[in-house]
Structure 1
Amino acid sequence: MTTMHHGYDTSASDPHAQAGLAAFAALVLADEALQARLGAIEQPDAYVADAVAIAAAHGIVLDMEAIRPDRLGISRGTPSPVTLDRWPPCGWLPARAVQTGVIPVFDWAWFGPQQLDMPFYEEAVQRFAPRPFNRMFRARTSLATLMAGADAAPAPAGFVHHMSRCGSTLIAQMLGADPHHVVLSEPEPLDAVVRWAMTSGAPLDEQVAALRAIVAALGRDRSGRTQRVFFKLDSWHVLALPLFRAAFPETPWVFAYRNPVEVLVSQRRQRGIHTVAGMLPVGLLDIPDAENMAADRYAALVLKRMGEAVLEHWHLGGGLLVDYTEMPGAIVDRIAPHFGFVPDPGQRAAMTAIALRSAKAPGLRFVADSATKRRDVTPEIDAAAREFTDSIHARLETLRHDTAILSEQAS
C-alpha cells in the first residue's frame, strides 16, 4: 500500500481519528477474512457497529462518527481511499476505470464469491460498489500495477462479439445458467483497456499484456468453483479482433449478428453510444465527416465496419458466426460446443428456461419483435441498409453457410 485516504465525515485535523483509521485500514487490508466479513454488510449502521467492534478487539480506537459514510457513495474521478501497488485479494474485482490522464487507472471493489448473474457487469457494480466497506476501502491500481500483478491465469473459454441488438445478452445469460460459469458482460474496465490499446500507439506486446491482465483480473475464481469464464464484449470490440487473437490465440469466439435493418430500427429507438457520432474515439471507427452525417446513415456505417472487421480477420481462426434467427437453439447446440462444453440434460434445461424470459429484463417474458421491427423500417433506414449493410450481411450469411457445410463434412 502506497497511500491511504479516507472518504468519511471526520475532521482531517484530528490526529487520533486519523491514527485510528490508518491502523484499522492496515488491519483489514491484511486480513481477507475481515474483508469478507465487512464486505458482506449492506446496511451502513450495521457496518459501523461491526467495524468499531473489530477495531476494539484489536486495541484500535475507532470513532463511530469517523467512519460513518456520507450519502454520496462512490464518486468516479475523485481520489481513491486506498492506492495499492499490488492487486487486492481474490474477492475483489476491477469495478471501474478512471481517466486520470492518457492511461486509465482502475478502482476495485469487493464482490466476494457472489455470482455475477445480472444482464450487465455495470449492474453488478451498482449493487456491490455502494456497500459501506467498498466506500471505505475503494482500492485503486495503475495499469502498470495491473499488468505487473497478472499471473498465468487460464484463458477464457470464449469471447462473444456481436453487432449489437442481436441476441448477445441472451447468449451471455444462457452461458451463465451453470453456477460454475462466470460471464462478464461488457465490463467497463475491459473497454477502457481496449480503447487505450487501439488509440495509444503502444507496442503490440504492451497492448497484449494489458488485455491479458484486465481479463485475468475480471475473470478471477472468487468462489473456488469456477470451471469456465466467458466475456460478452462491447460491440465495437470486434474492431480489435486482431488484438484479442494475439492475446488469446486459443480462445474461441463468436460473432452474433442480425438483419441490419432490424438492428437499425432498434438503434433508432434507443441509440447505443457506438451509433452516435463522437461518442467513441475517432481512431476506433475512422468514419469521415461523421458529425455531419444523418444518424441512420452513421449507424449503418458503424455496422458495416463491424461486419468488415469479421470478414477481414476471419482467417485468424477461432470464429463462429451465429445469426439471430438461429437463437436460442444455436446457443445450446453450436455456441456451447464451440466454447468447449456440450450441455448435459440439466444444463440444457437451465439454459432453455432462460430463453423464455427477456434477456435484458429477466422479470419479463421474451416477446419476439422481428415483425415489429420490420414494420417500423423507415425510408431512411432502408436506404442506409441498401447502401452500406446489405452486401456485408449477405457475405456474412454466405460465410456462415459455407463454414457450416465444411464443419459437417469434417465431422
Structure 2
Amino acid sequence: MVMFAEVTEFLQGTYYGSTLRQWFIALGLIVVSVVLGRLLYWISGRWIKMLASRTSSRIDDILVDMLEEPLVGLFIVVGVRYSLSFLSLDSNLIEILDQATRFAITLLITWLLVRLYDAVHREYLVKLAEGTETDLDDQLLPVLRNGVRFLLFVLGGVVALNNAGFDVGAVLAGLGIGGLAFALAGQDTVANLFGGVTILVQRPFKLKDRIMVSGVEGYVDELGLRTTQLKSISGEKIQIPNKFFIASTIQNLDDCDYYFGLETFLLHRNTSGDQVDRLLSQLNELRDEHEDVMWCLGVLNGLNEFGMEVQLAYGVHRFQHSEKYFNHLEKKAVVKTFLNRRAYDLLKDNSIKMANPVYLGLRRKEDQ
C-alpha cells in the first residue's frame, strides 16, 4: 500500500509547472507527429510520385519532388508546437516557442522556394540555353542561379528574424557601425566580384574549355561572380577565386587549331638516301589514314656518326566534348600510338634498321 501511494503521488506530481500526465501527452504527440511526418514522406515517395509520373507533363513531377521534404518538415514543426501546447508553460516561454516556430516555418518556406527555383532552372532554363547557338546564356545561367538563391536566402533570413521578434533595422544599423571593418575584410570579395564581371564581359573562355590559370589546369565546369569551378582530368572540382583571372595569365588550351605532336626515330647510318626519301614520303601520307590527324610531315632532322635522325611532326584535331574520347589526353594518346605503330610498319617494309644504342665506358689504366 505504501508503494502504491508513492506511485500515485509521483504520477500526480507537478514537474516544471506541468503534471506527469501532461508531459506524457506532449511527448506522445511529438512522437506521433514525427511518425506521421515520416509516413507522409513515404506515401509521397511511393504513391504520389507514381501517380505524377503517369502524366505527360513534367510540372507535377517537379512539384511533388520539391514539395515533399519541406512540407514534411512543416508538418513536424507544427505538430511539435501543438504538442507543447498541452503543457502549462510560462507566458514568456510560450512567446519564445511561438517565435521559434515562426522562425522555423519561414526558413522551411524559404527552402521550399529555393528548391522550386532550382528545379525550374534545371528543367527549363538550362535546356532552353542548350538549344541556342550562343554561349553567353550558358555562362550567365550559373550566375543567375547563384544570384537568385542568394537573394531568396537573404530575404528569407530577414523575414525569419523579423518573425522571431528581432528588430531587423537595429541589426542592420549595427552592421553599419562596423562597416569599415567589413569593408576591409571584404576586399577579396570585391576583387573576386570584379573578376567575375571581367570574365563575363571579356569572355576569355567559355564553359567546357580547358584552361590553365595560376598553374592550375582543368575544364571550366561552372562560372560564378565570386569563383569559377574547374574540373580536373581526374574529375576533381577546383574552386578558383575570380581575382586570379585578373592578375594572372590565362591560357585557353582548347582555343587552338590543333594539338602538336613530335616523334623521333634514329635510323642506322647505313640507310640509303632512297630509303630515307621513300620513308619521308610515306610518313607524309599518314594523315589520310586517321580521321583525327590534321597533318603529318616527315623531316630529316640531322645526321651524326651514329645515324640519321628522322622526325614525324603532326597535328591532332582539337578535342570536342561530343566525341567518342573521354578527354583530350585519350585522343592524343590514340593518335600517338597509331602513328608510331604505322611508322614501325614503314621502317620494316623499307628494310630500314634503327641505330644501335651506343654505350661509353672508361677503363682504369691498371686494367689495360
TM-score normalised by the chain length of structure 1: 0.22
TM-score normalised by the chain length of structure 2: 0.23
State which structure, 1 or 2, has the greater radius of gyration over its C-alpha atoms. 2
Where relative contact order (Cα < 8 A, 6+ residues apart) is larger, the structure is 1
Greater share of residues in strand: 2
Greater share of residues in helix: 2
